[in-house]
Amino acid sequence: MTTEGKYLRMTKNERIQHFLLLSSFITLVITGFALKYPEAFWVKWIIFFIGENAFEVRGVVHRIAAVVMVAGALYHVFYIIFTKRGRKLVKDLWFYRSDITDLTESLQYIIGKRKERPYFDRFSYIEKAEYWAVVWGTVVMGGTGLVLWFENYFLPIINVYGMNIATAVHWYEAILASLAILVWHFYFIFLNPDVSPMNKAWYTGYLTRHQMEHEHPRELAKIEEEMSERTAAGKTDAE
C-alpha cells in the first residue's frame, strides 16, 4: 500500500479562505446559540469569563464574525470569477450526471450491495452538497442577519411580521447549518476511517496517496494518466 506522495488539495489562498470561514462559522455558532440559550451551562461559563457586559460583547463578536464570513464569501465570488483555479473549482463542484451514478454506487456500497467503492472524482457528491449548502446558508444567514442587525431600518419596510419571519428563518437555518457541519462535514474529516483521526489538508494543503486512492480514485487516475503522458512526452522529447 502506497501512502507516500503529496497531492495538492487546497492552495494557501484556499486554506486562508477556509480558515476564515471555519473560524467565523464557529464564532457565529457559539455567539448565536448563546443568545438563544442564555441559561445553558457553557453560556454561563462564557458570561463568567467575559463578565458583566458579556451580552453586549456577544452581540458585537457575532457581528464581527458575520462581517468576516460575508467578506470571505465576497472574496470567494471574486476568486471563482477571476482566477483560473477558482473557475476550475466551480466547474469541478458543479453537478453532473456522473454524480447520480456516484450516489447510486455509493449507496449500494455502504449498504453492502456492491463490493467496489464509488469511483469519485476531485469532489464527490458529499463535498458538492457541502459546498452548495454553505453557499445557500451564507446567503440566507447573511440576508436575514442583516435585517435583524439593522432592525430599525427594516422594520418600516417588512413590518414586525417580516421581522418575526427573518428571526425564525435565521434560527432554523442556524440549526440546519450547524447540524450539517457537525454530522456531515465533521464526519468526513474526522471520523471517516479513510482520513481518521483528521484530514490534514485544511492546513497542510495536501492529501496522501492513500486518501486519494480511497476518496478521489478518479482524480488520482487522471493525475497519473497526465503524469504518464507527461513522462511519455518527456521520453519522446528525450528520444
Binding site for other proteins (CB under 8 A): 1, 34-36, 38-39, 43, 47, 52, 54-56, 58, 107, 109-112, 148, 151-152, 155-156, 159-161, 164-165, 167-169, 172-173, 175-176, 179-180, 183-184, 187-188, 191-194, 210, 214
Closer by beta carbon to other proteins, 100 or else 179: 179
DSSP H helical segments within the chain, as ranges?
Answer: 12-36, 41-50, 54-82, 84-93, 97-110, 125-149, 151-180, 186, 201-204, 209-215, 217-238
Q: How far is the CB of 60 from other proteins (least distance, A)?
A: 12
Burial of 27 (0-12, 13-18, 19+ CB in 10 A): middle
Inter-residue contact 148 to 32 (CB < 8 Å):
no
CA distance 205 to 16: 10
Closer by beta carbon to other proteins, 20 or else 28: 28
The torsion angles phi and psi of 53, rounded to 5 degrees, stand at -95, 25
Half-sphere exposure of 26 (CA within 13 A, CB side): 6
Q: Which of 1, 67, 57 is nearest to 30 (CA)?
A: 57
Q: How far is the CB of 175 from other proteins (least distance, A)?
A: 6
Closer by beta carbon to other proteins, 77 or else 179: 179
Q: How far is the CB of 85 from other proteins (least distance, A)?
A: 29
Inter-residue contact 141 to 112 (CB < 8 Å):
no
**Beta-ladder partners of 206:** 8
Q: How far is the CB of 5 from other proteins (least distance, A)?
A: 15
Closer by beta carbon to other proteins, 77 or else 182: 182
Closer by beta carbon to other proteins, 37 or else 78: 37
DSSP reduced 3-state for 175: helix
Closer by beta carbon to other proteins, 40 or else 227: 40
Q: How far is the CB of 136 from other proteins (least distance, A)?
A: 11
CA distance 97 to 103: 10
Q: How far is the CB of 169 from other proteins (least distance, A)?
A: 6
**Beta-ladder partners of 7:** 207
CA distance 50 to 24: 19
Cell of 146: 442583516
Q: How far is the CB of 110 from other proteins (least distance, A)?
A: 4
Cell of 114: 456492491
Closer by beta carbon to other proteins, 156 or else 238: 156
